[in-house]
Amino acid sequence: MTQSHRTTEPEHRKPTTATAMRLIVPLQGVVQGRGGLILGSLIPCALFYFLQFYLKRHRSPNPPSPSTSSSNLAGLPRTSSRSTLSSRGSLGPVRISARGISIAKPDDSPYYIGLNKFRDDPYDKINNPNGIIQLGLAENTSCLDLIEKWVSENLSDSIMGRDGDDLSISGITTYQPFDGMMELKVAMAGFMSQVLGQAVSFDPSQIVLTAGATPAVEILCFCLADHGNALLVPSPYYPGFDRDIRFRTGVELIPVHCRSTDNFAFSITALDQAFNQARKRGVKVRGILICNPANPVGNIIPRETLYELLDFAREKNIHVISDEIYGGSIFGNEEFVSVAEILEAEEVDKDRVHIIYGLSKDLSLPGFRTGVIYSYNESVLAAAKKLTRFCSISAPTQRLLISMLSDTKFIQEYLETNKRRIKKLYDSFVAGLKQLGIRCSESSAGLYCWADMSGLIPSYSEKGELELWDKLLNIAKINVTPGSACHCIEPGWFRCCFTSLTHEDIPLVIERIQKVAETCK
């Protein structure tokens, strides 16, 4: 595969095969370089054969042979089990599923380890001043006061209805359409339009509402790809995708590595390469998943690149999923162009483009679980609608949001204030890091910055990066997300979320980083 320093081992691969591959692949490369094709194939094959032989002899004791087991189960015909635990399963009680086992395992990604550690020891200015400061969760609390004020003035009315209103309790307790109330779709279409400064008008009938963007992404994957198919994802990418997409759909994510020299922008050439490599492996690529504005880098995809992307997708006959969840969190001067804008303007193949949105970032309401699938493809919409029965938005919350999103004056004020406050925090935080000699990539959106701490890592490798991450988490007591968790190919980059910090917190964070930075020099 790539010459990456990282060898991220997929969870489902059996240990023996993986170990074998780690020996064979480099060996093959070495031998092929000098021994020619025949020797280059023969020698590794021979070695592989002997390796298997060795491993077989040293494997743990085999389960009982078939003859003894069938005598125990005399009356019962054997079933042909498809479970990977078949030999033990026929004697012992049924286990939980293979996917259940894999998902139940403790999290080993630093992204989740950090979040868990924070939960056990969260910083509190008064009650726990030495606790861990959270910079690992893209959460925006800078404008919650505005929403809180709106809620305190409007909540009760929105749920219970005013006198003479049609809103009554039976309107929120009874079964609602699983893909969301029409009034909320209308309000959401209007909100999404406002977020884009009215550059696009969204059609409520093309909206499917879900309990958060997490199920929205999963549903789209279930609809667009089969088990074993793949999606290309420009990396570094949001660590949550590994779970959201891989957990249950069986769809593979193929990272398309971007580099700091391009400010982590992806190129069509790289996409094309990745597509072809996948095809050679016999893996069918069904689509490209982009995050625009990007997470964790925070850059915006230029208009021309979006055109090129759509051309590429048409040429390969694949889908484009554009996760635009940070569309309202733009603080820079760069123009943000939603893929919807291009589709509205041009006569392009719309059936292959799908947008993900949600209120967790732009409206700071992750707890209320509101996600959106916006698609131009009728069949996808029909299938997605049916799947929302597993993830509908709670009715009282829908009512609240209908009210809030329809208050366009409030929304306008909120969106503008939000951008200003994020920018202020960004400027302050990035300046603080600069003082420590840590520069950030250029970004104009998102709730985080992408910081280059490669100067502080003991070795230019994933190992070195994780050592620094560990120090930052356990000594400096700040939780940041290391680039390796985001599948970044260059070691030393860290995502630092700053929008749940106050201006007073920032110097404290910088100070803590400084202490660790000093020990690294």
Query: Which parts of 236-255 interact with another protein (CB under 8 A)?
Result: 243-244, 247-248
- 120 is an active site residue: no
Query: Residue 494's beta-bridge partner residues?
Result: 451, 482
Please indicate whether residue 323 is annotated as part of the active site: yes
Interacting residues with another protein between 363 and 392 (CB under 8 A): 364-369, 377, 379-380, 383, 386-387, 389-392
Kindly state the tokens that stand for 411. Answer: 């929304």
- Residue 139 has, within 13 A of its CA and on its CB side, a CA count of 15
Q: Which two tokens stand for residue 82?
A: 């498809």
Which residue, 272 or 349, has its beta carbon nearer to another protein? 349
The Cα–Cα gap between 120 and 132 comes to 9
**List 245, 301, 325, 393, catalytic entry:** 325
- Classified as helix, coil or strand, 366 is helix
Is 226 an interacting residue with respect to another protein (CB under 8 A)?
yes
Selecting among 316, 361, 471, 477, the annotated active-site residue is 361
Given the complex with another protein, which of 371 and 483 has the nearer CB atom? 371
Q: Which of residues 310-329 bind another protein (CB under 8 A)?
A: 317, 319
Candidate list 27, 159, 270, 466; residue touching another protein; CB under 8 A: 159
Q: Figure out which of the listed residues 195, 196, 211, 513 binds another protein, where binding follows CB under 8 A.
A: 211
What is the H or E stretch that residue 307 is in? Answer: helix 303-316
Stretch that binds another protein, among 87-95, 192-200, 335-343, 408-416 (CB under 8 A): 87-95
93 binds another protein (CB under 8 A): yes
Note if 112 is an active site residue. no
Report how far residue 231's alpha carbon sits from residue 251's, in angstroms, rounded to the nearest whole number.
7
Q: Considering only 140-148, 193-201, 449-457, 471-479, which stretch makes contact with another protein by CB under 8 A?
A: 140-148
Residues 404-463 that bind another protein (CB under 8 A): none
Nearest to 356 by CA among 324, 384, 326, 330: 324
Q: Which of residues 38-57 bind another protein (CB under 8 A)?
A: none
Shortest distance, position 297 Cβ to another protein, whole Å: 23
Residue 472 makes contact with another protein by CB under 8 A: no
Report cis status (omega within 30 of 0) of the bond before 66.
Answer: no
Cβ-contact 455, 96 below 8 angstroms: no
Q: Would you list the DSSP string of 30-84? A: HHHHHHHHHHHHHHHHHHHHHHHHHHHHTSPPPPPPHHHHHHHTTTSPPP---ST
Residue of 326, 365, 364 whose CA lies nearest to 444? 326
Member of 256, 400, 415, 447 binding another protein (CB under 8 A): 400
Question: Cβ atoms within 10 A of the Cβ of 467, count?
Answer: 17
For another protein, the closer CB: 33 or 93: 93
- The DSSP 8-state label assigned to residue 206 in this structure reads G
Q: Does the annotation mark 448 as catalytic?
A: no
| Active-site residue list | 238, 323, 325, 361
